[in-house]
Structure 1
């Protein structure tokens, strides 16, 4: 947990008072800690364990076997952990780890290993829980979720919800909490013909169903056996039904089919009263609307997610990689990014998506078109841009080719390898982002201002640690460019509907770096988006991929829908049992 935010969270967790919602219900705070007399007794915890069929566990940090003083020391286990420390699959498979160390540790406390060489023995630190929950329930079904919710409500214990730990804002962990861990909800079902719960309007064909713990790679592979594609993302270890599927969920099918929330049909959830509900556009429609874009961990615990599938088609990719001199960095970046931006409107209109990674001295770009051909359509749409890049004599080109991947899961092998290389887990990371609307791409002067703002942000964000670790600035072209949501079917921030780019600045550091260095990195990352913010006044950022210190977070994350989302939150969770950092109704905003 970055040190700048620790005082705010610590005061909030320990001192927050009860307060009343518009419903008249009283918020007890859910702030009982293990050092207070209100904390459940051993026998009370045992009663919870019995009610969840023995699935209550005391949290053990992943790296505890590497600490001789942890009570869990095991040199053989430690070697395995060290070998897999940056591996997202390994990190997502246990409760005691997160994708990044920010939210696994807390201001120097925790149980982390050296990011650059995890095999080194840990020095000058004891092993503690850091930001992890004191106890967690590895829920196997909705009844376990209900029992856990009821226990937290009865004993005034803070509740957290963790899926895979892909979390840039620290929403899935908190100290002195009881966690619902959804990883084991792994059911997957294909409904060729789907009958919704008491809702003929939601009936459909080719509907997928996944449990809350199903990860992306497993879902893609499973539904491909039925010749169907999932509107998923670029990393195979992301839990599709968690924050991804409730906060937006962008991927290469964005221009073609919209986001994950656009394809949602029905959810099974457990609300704050411990009630199991199946919600859709007919049953609890307000709650269904809010959970389609209003963020995870806020309204209920989702246990099953049903969504529209689409016929499987080949994935065509143009891949380009090149380096250039730092002496020509500004002019080369300007030239490439301007050409990129000039093509973007046409690409988006024709369902081309993808990712571009810009560095001070190199560029990687992957333009993607899901299309049932041999790649001819993508070549036609991008040939002029490819020729421009090929003829740029300032570039040293190392990749410049078109490839067709027969299946989405085969394409995922490419994107997962890129993610593992450019944004590995097991270190500290901070990001800042902005959704950039169509009008910035409409005229030459607008494009010029956009490119200048993005590059200025890159230059602001550069520091020694970023340069040596090669942290990219990402231009992500997976927005629902052709899906305006004219019926207001989702609670998603409207800024998504006009955006062509999801711009992400990244920074990071490793264990052992002092606050003197890490605090400026955190601050600078937020400052990097200031130039594009100036071009997008009243605009937004993706709630799942943004800076945790974003100041105008209600407007930035949720836009004009925040007040409606808050009203639904207060209706279904009047005492704010579900309370996560800068989520709708976050208590910290009221103190």
Structure 2
């Protein structure tokens, strides 16, 4: 018979051990591990200084910044998993690391997203870091600094690594960030002087022919948080199932992408990526490792499906829905004003063609399809004139090539009626799911370092005649007068399609048939004044898209970090509920990202053009008190 103290000790040691999906999650931090190590203790064991009223997160150079000895001791608890990152462009600058050959290679590959996704700290949108060390051949009189790069990165390959990072950052009052792949357009996975958790290498997969949780019974799969779309493609190609995956091959599927919503080629048929989540394994702000599903921690199950990544905890794996093999057919269409593939047409005829296409959008969505299109202004060589090109691909699940071509025929006929005589399209049939790719997938993985904004237009904007005309007018102005590229993705992840989930997904997603994006088109580089002036002009032309869709929203994963009224745009009526969960689950304000739930209480004091992440993270209230 066990004595009471022994029973209590066993309960004490086991309270962190939960169910897990993969072996790397079985390696967890125990309270025995943290004895005599206050820096990595759980909250109820921590007896160090309190930072609850601190004005700012501890920054390099501050009195409370951990000493080199403490960083070394922390690395020892990690088993050597701590990385001190360096900017990719450092090899181009004079000093001991200068390497002309490596510099040239970095310049060539810098626009490839794989370079950034495989780096422990770099992100695809460098301007958010501060552009402090861009690779270039001539760096005379130029400097390279770490800017918005984190001070240290934990290369997490076990749950214990994640827990150690969470506890160390919380107890030392450090800014904590999470990076999966760095497909980040808002600065959520970068942060000056921060400690970063790199979940990129949490890669594991298991197909489950039958799984039951809550009200769901059916096919499923266990997925590691670090899996990218191309990883899932491989599993699907060798299996007998379909999983909803991002369109870009290097995008991480079930990290921040899914937590923010996540769209794919199957969005109109199966819903958003967040709709696929059945269960999650999560490290929370108190360092505990928990299961999150309909029966356990249901508040986080709501928040982590659509409430945004990097805010409520660190996801290490998930269980997601799987489907029978779902074939898909692609039908590409294109017309332009400079005689590339059609007889020459005027600008007015071109825009009539844009109207025609958008009058077919609801039909595409109602057929459970996707329209993936661009309207691009093109400066012709040896000419001062601007021409325009429209490209789209209809993605039609469960249709063969003949059916897909028949579906596209009325659209082609209507384009012919307004004077656009395009060739008969050729449908491409993909019989097996390989992580459905948008046409030009290589393009989606090119890094541009440009700013963008998005709008989720509701169905009314394309069905009501007056709203339709007003919507087409502002899109034309954006492209024709502004000179910006318009990107439209047509899908309809309604609650009915998605199974009526109680989730934090932006309510605007449930009504949209047009996910609209626009890009500044030039890199966000130069002086702060230059960056600000460019963005002010861009916003002048994008704001009418917001005005013509009052009460709609924006997609938080692909958006303007300066989005006005972002709480409503990104979260809609879910925001108060999410904020309540945030305050309860993270009373330490440990997890902070730009435009994340609760982020309005903090600001980054960056030396460059806001909202770069090259600076100290401080409470807004403190900053306001000091203002005259």
Query: Using the alignment, how far apart are the partners of 1:164 and 1:206 within structure 2?
Result: 27
Which of residues 463, 474, 478 is equivalent to 1:453? 474
Distance 2:138 2:240 in 1: 48
Deviations 1:7-48 (A, max 9, x none): xxxxxxxxxxxxxxxxx9945456111111100011111111
**Following TM superposition, by how much is the alpha carbon of 1:481 offset from its aligned partner in structure 2, in angstroms?**
4.0
Counterparts in 2 of 1:524 and 1:324: CA distance versus 1, 3 Å: same
- Give, in whole Å, the separation in 2 of the partners of 1:347 and 1:508: 28
Paired with 1:80 and 1:202, the residues of 2 have a C-alpha distance of 52
For structure 1, the residue ranges without an aligned partner over 5 or more in a row are: 1-23, 115-119, 467-471
1:56-75 counterparts in 2 under 5 A? Answer: 56-69=82-95, 71-75=96-100
Q: Distance in 2 between matches of 1:516 and 1:368?
A: 42
1:428 to 449, 454, 464: 449
Number of the residue aligned with 2:405: 379
Residue 87 of structure 1 corresponds to 112
Deviations 1:535-562 (A, max 9, x none): 2212110111111111201011100000
1:336 shift after superposition: 1.8
Aligned 1:533-548 pairs, distance under 5 A? 533-548=546-561
C-alpha deviations, 1:444-482, integer Å up to 9, x for none? 3332222112222334532xxx6xxxxx31011134146
Residues 262 and 511 of structure 1: is their aligned pair in 2 closer, same or farther, counting only changes over 3 Å? closer
Q: Secondary structure at the match of 2:553?
A: coil
Residue 154 of structure 1: CA displacement? 1.1
Q: Is the 8 A contact 1:461 1:507 kept in 2?
A: no
Is 1:280 aligned to residue 293 of structure 2?
A: yes
Quick one: which of 152, 171, 174 aligns to 2:169? 152
Question: Partner of 2:568 in structure 1?
Answer: 555
Distance 1:413 1:249, change over 3 A: closer
Superposition deviation, residue 393 in structure 1: 4.7
Q: Secondary structure at the match of 1:495?
A: helix
Shifted more, 171-180 versus 449-458: the winner is 449-458
Contact 1:246 1:293 in 2 (8 A): yes
* Contact persistence 1:435–1:502 (CA under 8 A): yes
The 5 A counterparts of 1:76-155 are 76-104=101-129, 106=130, 108=131, 110-114=132-136, 120-155=137-172
User: Partners in 1 of 2:468 and 2:438 — Cα distance?
Assistant: 33
Describe how 1:309-328 pairs up with structure 2 within 5 A: 309-325=322-338
User: How far has the Cα of 1:330 moved from its partner?
Assistant: 4.6
Q: Describe the SS at the equivalent of 1:483.
A: helix
| Structure 1 residue matching 2:334: 3-state secondary structure | strand
Please state whether the residue corresponding to 2:573 is helix, strand or coil: helix
Secondary structure in 2 matching 1:287: helix
Alignment of 1:41 with 2:67, yes or no, is yes
Alignment RMSD: 2.5
Question: Matched residues in 2 for 1:515 and 1:399: separation?
Answer: 49
> Is this contact kept in 1: 2:201–2:226, CA < 8 A?
yes
Give the corresponding residue for 1:338: 355
**1:532 paired residue number:** 545
Partner of 1:11: none
Change (3 A) 1:417 1:247: same
Separation in 2, partners of 1:128, 1:332: 51
> Structure 2 CA distance, aligned partners of 1:529 and 1:479?
23
Deviations, residues 246-275 of structure 1 (Å, cap 9, x unaligned) = 000111111100001111100001000000
Contact residue 353 and residue 418 of structure 2 kept, 8 A: no
Deviates more, 1:273-282 or 1:202-211: 202-211
Tell me, yes or no, if structure 1 residue 409 matches structure 2 residue 426.
Answer: no
If the length of structure 1 is used for normalisation, what is the TM-score?
A: 0.86
User: Secondary structure of 2:434's partner?
Assistant: helix
CA 548–511 in structure 1, closer or farther in 2 if over 3 Å, else same = closer
Counterpart secondary structure, 1:233: coil
Q: C-alpha separation between the residues in 2 aligned to 1:443 and 1:551? A: 26
- After TM superposition, the structure 1 = structure 2 runs for residues 98-247 of structure 1, keeping only pairs within 5 Å, are 98-104=123-129, 106=130, 108=131, 110-114=132-136, 120-194=137-211, 200-201=213-214, 204-247=217-260
Verify: 1:518 aligned to 2:500, yes or no: no
Q: 1:309 to 1:90 in 2, by over 3 A?
A: same
Q: Find the residue that maps to 2:437 and give its secondary structure.
A: helix
Residue in 1 aligned with 2:462? 441
Quick one: structure 1 residues 338 and 512, their matched pair in 2 at CA, closer, same or farther if it must change by over 3 Å?
closer
Partner of 2:396 in structure 1? 369
Partner of 2:171: helix, strand, or coil?
A: helix
Q: What CA distance in whole angstroms lies between the structure 1 residues aligned with 2:162 and 2:481?
A: 45
Instruction: Tell me, yes or no, if the aligned pair for 1:160 and 1:177 is still in contact at 8 Å.
Output: yes
Segments of 5+ residues of structure 2 without an aligned counterpart are 1-49, 378-387, 604-619, 622-628
Indicate the SS of the match to 2:496: coil
Structure 1 residue 163: Cα displacement:
1.0
TM-score using structure 2 length: 0.81
CA contact (8 A) 1:208 1:309 kept: yes
481-490 or 214-223: bigger deviation: 481-490
Which one has a bigger Cα radius of gyration?
Answer: 2
Partner residue of 1:419? 444
